[in-house]
Amino acid sequence: MNPQVKAVEYAVRGPIVLKAGEIELELQRGIKKPFTEVIRANIGDAQAMGQQPITFLRQVMALCTYPNLLDSPSFPEDAKKRARHILQACGGNSLGSYSASQGVNCIREDVAAYITRRDGGVPADPDNIYLTTGASDGISTILKILVSGGGKSRTGVMIPIPQYPLYSAVISELDAIQVNYYLDEENCWALNVNELRRALREAKDHSDPKVLCIINPGNPTGQVQSRKCIEDVIHFAWEEKLFLLADEVYQDNVYSPDCRFHSFKKVLYEMGPEYSSNVELASFHSTSKGYMGECGYRGGYMEVINLHPEIKGQLVKLLSVRLCPPVSGQAAMDIVVNPPVPGEESFEQFSREKESVLGNLAKKAKLTEDMFNQVPGIQCNPLQGAMYAFPRIFIPAKAVEAAQAHKMAPDMFYCMKLLEETGICVVPGSGFGQREGTYHFRMTILPPVEKLKTVLQKVKDFHIKFLEKYA
C-alpha cells in the first residue's frame, strides 16, 4: 500500500463523520437517543441543510440537459438564451460530449469577463482560465505540478494554521513538506507577515519552500483579509519568489459591514508591473459556496497569472489524462459568472433569492458569534466571512486526561461527546491545526435560523454540563 496515501488525513469527513453515520443508522433502526436527528454541521453543504437552489441556475441547467424544453413556454427567455449560449459551444451541442481539457471555450471567456468586472477592469485572459472539478481538483492539480525533489530539496508548501485539511491531505499525498504559519487568534485570525517570515526561515533548514497558500475569506476561521494585509503577502511572495495560491472560494461570503473581499489578482495588478509581471499566482473559485451552494455539480475554475508557458503545457497535458471536468459543473459555473442582469426577465427573482441567502448567512454569522460568546469557556472571533464558526473552547484538565485514556485528542473527545449527547456533528480543531494547548471546533452556520438557534442552545447546554462534569 502506498505510504503517502496512508499518511493522508481529512478531518471534515473523518472518524467523527463516520460515527455520525452510524448514529443515523441506529436512529433509523429505532434505537433511542437523547435526540431525534443528527445535524451535520461538519461540512459546508448548504442545500443539504435546506437552502433552495437558485431558480435561474437550475432552469438553465434543465434546458441544457433536455433541450426539448427550449420550446417550452414555462421557461424564461433569458434562461433559454444562456442555455443556447452554453450548448452552441459544446461538441454536438450536448452536455454529454467531452469538452476541451481546459474547459469549454465560451465558459472560460465568461469567467474571464466576470473576473474583469469583479476586479474593476483589471483584464483577465481566457487562456489563463482552467475549469475544474470543484476547487479541490484545481488546488491539488496545481500542487501536483509544483512539487518536486527529495531530502532537503523536498518542496515546502506554506499553509495557514488553522487550515482547510485539503491542503495537508494533498501535501501528504505528494510527499511534500507542510510549512505551518499561524494565524493570530487574538487579532481576529489575521495573517501577520512576520509570522510568514518566521515560518519560511525555519522551513528553509529542511525543505525548499516554493508555494504560499492563502485562504481568504478564511476556512475554518472566517476572517476577511484587509487590502493592506494582501499587499504585504504579495510583497513577501515577490521578495521570496514564492508561488501564491489564493483560495478565494468564499469571495461572495462576506458579512461584516467593515470588511470587503479584495482579490489577490486585483491587488497584484494595482501594486504595479514589478509585481504583476513577476509574481506567480493561482486563484480558485467554485460553484459550491457563495449564495448558490451547488456542491454536487463539482464546478470550479482557477485563474493562473505568470505561469511559465512550459508549465502551462504540462498542466494541460496532466488535465487531459482525466479528459475534462464534468460539463454540467462547467455549465453551472457559467451561470454563476453570467447571472441575469438588470432588464432581463429573471433579474428580479434572481436578486431576491441571492440576497435572501446572503442576508440570512450574515444574520446567522452574527447570531453564532454572539451566542458562543455568552457561554463561559467558549470564545468566538467575529465571523467576517465564509460559512463557519471556529470557536475556542476551554477543556478542563480532567477531560484532557479522560481523552488521553481514550487515545483521543481532547477536542476530538469533546466533539464525540457532543455528537453522542446532542446529535450535533462538528469537526475538532485538531483536524485543521491549532496552537498547541488550544482547542476549537468548526461548525457551519448553514442550518436555517430557528434550527441554528436550537443547535447553539444545545451546544451551550452541553458545554456547561461538560465543564461541570470534568471540573
Q: Return the residue matching grid coordinates 455568552.
A: 374
Letters for 72-111 (x = contact with its own copies by CB under 8 A, - = none) are x-x---------------xxx-xxxxxxxx----------
Of the candidate residues 26, 120, 148, 241, the single one contacting its own copies (CB under 8 A): 148
Give the nearer residue to its own copies in terms of CB position, either 326 or 377: 326
Least spacing, CB of residue 96 vs its own copies, in Å: 4
Contact set for its own copies, span 183-242 (CB under 8 A): none
Stretch in the footprint of its own copies (CB under 8 A) among 63-71, 227-235, 361-369, 378-386? 63-71
Closest distance between its own copies and the C-beta of residue 145, in Å? Answer: 5
Say which residues have a Cβ less than 8 Å from residue 101's Cβ, sequence separation at least 6. 316, 319, 320, 322, 323, 324
Distance in Å, CB of 269 to its own copies, minimum = 26
Minimum gap (Å) between residue 129 Cβ and its own copies:
17
Question: What part of residues 286-305 is at the interface with its own copies (CB under 8 A)?
Answer: 292-298
Among 27, 311, 408, 464, the residue binding its own copies under the rule CB under 8 A is: 311
Residue 140 vs 384, nearer CB to its own copies: 140
Contact 133, 294 (CB under 8 A): no
Tell me whether residue 83 or residue 375 sits nearer to its own copies (CB atom): 83
The least CB distance from residue 187 to its own copies, in Å, is 31
From candidates 20, 23, 39, 51, binder to its own copies by CB under 8 A: 51
Residues 251-270 that bind its own copies (CB under 8 A): none
Query: Where are the alpha helices (H) located in 11-119, listed in sequence order?
Result: 15-28, 55-65, 77-87, 105-118
Kindly tell me which residue out of 86, 124, 166, 365 binds its own copies, with binding defined by CB under 8 A: 166
Residue 151 touching its own copies (CB under 8 A): no
Q: How far is CA 425 from the centre of its chain?
A: 19
- Rounded Cα gap, residues 410 and 63, in angstroms: 51
Nearest approach, Cβ of residue 167 and its own copies (Å): 10
Which residue's CB is nearer to its own copies, number 169 or number 400? 169
List b or e across 424-454, with b for residues whose CB sees 16 or more CB atoms inside 10 angstroms.
Answer: bbbbbbbbbbbeeeebbbbbbbbbeeeebee
* DSSP conformation class of 68: G
What's at 432, amino acid-wise? F
Strand partners, 301: 131, 285
Residue 331: which region, alpha, beta or left (left: phi > 0; alpha: psi -120 to 50)? alpha
Of these, 23, 59, 229, 307, which contacts its own copies (CB under 8 A)? 59
Interface stretch with its own copies, choices 219-227, 257-265, 270-278, 325-333 (CB under 8 A): 325-333
Residue among 143 and 395 whose Cβ is closer to its own copies: 143
8 Å CB contact between 467 and 376: yes
364-403 footprint of its own copies as x/- string (CB under 8 A): ----------------------------------------
Q: For the window 6-35, what string marks contact with its own copies as x by the rule CB under 8 A?
A: x-xxx-xxx------x--------------
Size of the site for its own copies (CB under 8 A): 79
Half-sphere exposure of 59 (CA within 13 A, CB side): 21
Least CB distance to its own copies at residue 398 (A)? 32
5 residue type, one letter? V
**Residue 125 φ then ψ, to 5°:** -105, 125
Stretch that binds its own copies, among 323-331, 347-355, 383-391, 448-456 (CB under 8 A): 323-331
Which residue in the block uniquely carries the three cell numbers 436555517?
448
The values of phi and psi at residue 175, to 5°, are 60, 35
Tell me, letter by letter, the H, E, C secondary structure of 141-193.
Answer: HHHHHHCCCCHHHCEEEEEEECCCCHHHHHHHHCCCEEEEEECEHHHCCECCH
Cell of 244: 501564491
Q: Are 365 and 338 in contact (CB under 8 A)?
A: no
Out of 198, 201, 206, 322, the only residue in the binding site for its own copies (CB under 8 A) is 322
Q: Which residues contact 319 (CB under 8 A, 6 or more apart)?
A: 101, 102, 130, 141
The single residue among 26, 37, 66, 241 that binds its own copies, judged by CB under 8 A, is 66
Residues 107-146 touching its own copies, rule: CB under 8 A, are 133-134, 136-137, 140, 144-146
Q: Are strands 281-286 and 243-247 parallel, antiparallel or unpaired?
A: parallel
